[in-house]
Structure 1
Amino acid sequence: MGAAVGNLRDVVQGRRIADLRTTPRTLVKVTEHASLFRYDPYPGTEQHGDPLLLVPPLAAPALAFDLRRGCSVVEYFVQQGRPVYLVDYGPVSFEHRDLGIEHWTGRVIPQAVRHVHDDAGERPVHLAGWSLGGIFTIFTAASDPTLPLASATAVASPFDLTQVPLIAITRPVNAVASGLVSAAYRTLGGVPAPLTRLGFQISALDKYLTKPLAILAHADDRDFLAQLEAVDRFTDNMYAYPGRTFGQLYHVVVRSNALATGVVELGGRELRLADIDVPVLVVAGLDDTLAPVGAVSHLVDLLTGAPDVQLVQAPGGHLGVLTGRAARRTTWPAMEGFYARHDTP
């Protein structure tokens, strides 16, 4: 009881519970619309294996990979001794309104892959993205077969939008309101950060509405409260979507469900997911309403050219499957096992 009272006092008074220090890192390169970071080796741990390059989605902050000490994707892999890198786009503004998906998957991410390859002693790179970052990862792997990739990973990345209830519900509205949506994002130059934040909250509306009850029910669990605090910080730091990229996502991905076919046209060029010739890991969250298992696992059927495709289903919602408290026992060990199996000898 004493621990619960003390924890609730800290919550009410706004005292920090989570350890939100970032994992130590070094800026390696500033490229076009992105910064490349290398995380410092864990003291006393010898590095081994091919480097891991983490790819965040647009609109969501890259701190998703480094949520808090004790529950951080980055921290876990650094402690395993794997070289870890992160490409960070930073905030998106009105000046980015003309940038499409092909800019990120055809220029920014491939540049980062090649820089990591050079910085890590010319070892091939494990490329891993979460949510839209996972879609970007797959597009990148499909767009350039010369990239020095060891593998590609998509975590909580939907490839069949008919399997997403939130999108299925709004499909009739989309058919009528597509003109208004197009006019809005073109006028604004994108989707403002408050709207992306609202969209993320709606995707987990039940948890958002029952949060006060959850705090009371877990008042004696400081680690649970720390996770809530870290997720709140993540949500509060959402970015805007650039206009052209959002337009492509809305018309090509959401309305036409082109991803489900495995063939997507971007910037006048056709990408075929069947052309991917590196091992691919697909991770789906069992409680993910934004990217349900069926929507995510559909990618497995599209990767007919990949030498090895593995599907992992793990506990957690859209963010939780990546960096929830259970991920340190499920998602992360599964990822490390996959990378170790496909490391360069």
Structure 2
Amino acid sequence: MDLIPKPDQVASAASNVAHKVLYGGLADLRPMPRTLIDDGPLREVYHYRPHHRVRETGDPVLLVTPLAAPALCYDLRRGCSLVEHFVQQGRPTYLVEYGQISFANRRLGMEHWVDEVVPEAIKAASEHAGGRPVHVIGWSLGGIFSVLVAADQPDLPIASLTVVGSPFDVKQVPLVAPLRPILNLTSGGIVTQIYRALGGAPKPLVRRAFQISSGTKMLTKPLAILQHLDDAEWLAQIEAVDRFTENMIAYPGRSFGQLYHRMLKANQLLTGKVDLSGHEIDVSTIRHPVLVFAGNTDGIAPIKAVKALVGLLPNAEEVRFEIVPGGHLGMLTGRAARGTTWVTMDEWIEQWSTPEPEARRTTQKAKKTARKPAKKAPTAKTDVAPDRAAIGSNPERRFASASSRNLNRKS
């Protein structure tokens, strides 16, 4: 609102406050309908039901959740749900989540997710979608899991990888820098004893860490709410993010230990080689096309920390790096993401998708009439070879992408 609110702003603010008091909130928090299609130990694979007005077609997408964060990251609220976006397009949409982590799961390491959970989810999504290759999208640690899986099991039916806000160089994370001298001084022994005693990182601790990562936003939040009392959309987003934060999940002990010792202390991801229980995974072996997103205000995974992945993929068919507006969660499912991150995802998936049977027939017909350009049948969009020189510099994109790069591997 303005410093001196206008009458219409006062009326809107009063309406929003009344709605929150009478109905409990402004956000539409109804989850998108879904069906469980596969499950196993700490693995639940869901298929989101197609929109009743749109026919489900094309290669499927699989959304990979990170440890400790709820699947709400992909289905935050109606109007700001990546799941809803894909479903309304008719894209077959799947998600893998892990359920509640308890003290009983303290012996599970990251290899459980890299060797079993995510690969089985990819297979299940592909099979359920008629054997089509899967566009794997992972946020935060979910993106790291996706990269490790693609490197370790190259024969999985993966069409492309999309990595959103995943730090591959933790030295570039401002939150870690003040802790590094302490870690070096104690060799991490104190932290190790604590997480072993607790069986991992419990939910309250994970929740508090995520809140602290927001920096000054926690301190300025009350004032910001007052300033936006007339903005129902802004208030709804705050409600949805608060619900997301309240539903944080615990880290299992052994997985937390691996993250702490190998990634936080040793910065092993930056080497491109990760050792999981004596099994080394080399990220450079990835041949799938990879799209990498960094948020311009992300404090958990800053731009430099995320961009480090780009240099680790010399054999990928294509690597594309995009900087989009938003913090760690906002870049994925914030209000600005609808016209930035999601637009780029759509372009990427379209580029690397298998043509539909109708498109193949159109191509064949076009070839037969190639000698008569004036009467040539229009070719389907999916059959047009992408102009790779233009990737990352689309002048019609609805957000500034001056920092984006065309990072195609030179032949």
- Report the TM range for the smaller structure's normalisation: over 0.9
**C-alpha offsets along residues 292-325 of structure 1, whole Å, 9 cap, x if unaligned?**
0110011011011100111111100000000000
Match of 1:18 in 2: 27
Where do residues 74-89 of structure 1 align in structure 2 (5 Å cutoff)?
74-89=83-98
Count of paired positions: 345
CA-based RMSD: 1.1
Match of 2:198 in 1: 188
Match of 1:225 in 2: 235
**C-alpha offsets along residues 104-136 of structure 1, whole Å, 9 cap, x if unaligned?**
011111011111111110001111111111111
Pair 162,14 (structure 1): closer, same or farther in 2 beyond 3 Å:
farther
Where do residues 160-309 of structure 1 align in structure 2 (5 Å cutoff)?
160-177=169-186, 178-309=188-319
Cα distance in 2 between the residues matched to 1:63 and 1:165: 26
Pair 14,214 (structure 1): closer, same or farther in 2 beyond 3 Å:
farther
1:343 aligns with 2:353: yes
Cα distance in 1 between the residues matched to 2:189 and 2:271: 25
**C-alpha offsets along residues 13-36 of structure 1, whole Å, 9 cap, x if unaligned?**
772210000011111111221111
1:118 aligns with 2:127: yes
Compare CA radii of gyration and give the structure with the larger one.
2
Pair 213,13 (structure 1): closer, same or farther in 2 beyond 3 Å:
farther
1:205 Cα deviation from its structure 2 partner: 2.3
1:32 aligns with 2:77: no
1:315 counterpart letter in structure 2: P
Q: For 2:257, what is the secondary structure of its paired residue?
A: helix
1:50 counterpart letter in structure 2: D
2:39 counterpart letter in structure 1: V
1:151 counterpart letter in structure 2: S
Cα distance in 2 between the residues matched to 1:305 and 1:110: 21
Cα distance in 2 between the residues matched to 1:165 and 1:55: 26
TM-score, normalised by the number of residues in structure 1: 0.98
1:48 Cα deviation from its structure 2 partner: 2.1
1:176 Cα deviation from its structure 2 partner: 2.8
**C-alpha offsets along residues 275-306 of structure 1, whole Å, 9 cap, x if unaligned?**
01101110110010110011001101101110
1:55 aligns with 2:61: no
1:24 counterpart letter in structure 2: P
**C-alpha offsets along residues 218-239 of structure 1, whole Å, 9 cap, x if unaligned?**
1111000000000000000111
2:332 counterpart letter in structure 1: L
2:49 counterpart letter in structure 1: D
Q: 2:116 aligns with which of 96, 104, 107?
A: 107
1:10 Cα deviation from its structure 2 partner: 4.2
2:123 counterpart letter in structure 1: R
Q: For 2:38, what is the secondary structure of its paired residue?
A: strand
Task: Give the unaligned 5+ runs of structure 1.
Answer: none
1:83 counterpart letter in structure 2: P
Cα distance in 2 between the residues matched to 1:263 and 1:12: 53
Task: Give the unaligned 5+ runs of structure 2.
Answer: 1-9, 356-411
Cα distance in 2 between the residues matched to 1:104 and 1:282: 21
Identity %: 54
**C-alpha offsets along residues 142-173 of structure 1, whole Å, 9 cap, x if unaligned?**
11011110011110000011111111121111
1:315 aligns with 2:325: yes
1:25 counterpart letter in structure 2: R
Q: 2:341 aligns with which of 317, 331, 334?
A: 331
Cα distance in 2 between the residues matched to 1:198 and 1:175: 24
Pair 201,14 (structure 1): closer, same or farther in 2 beyond 3 Å:
farther
1:239 counterpart letter in structure 2: I
1:155 aligns with 2:164: yes
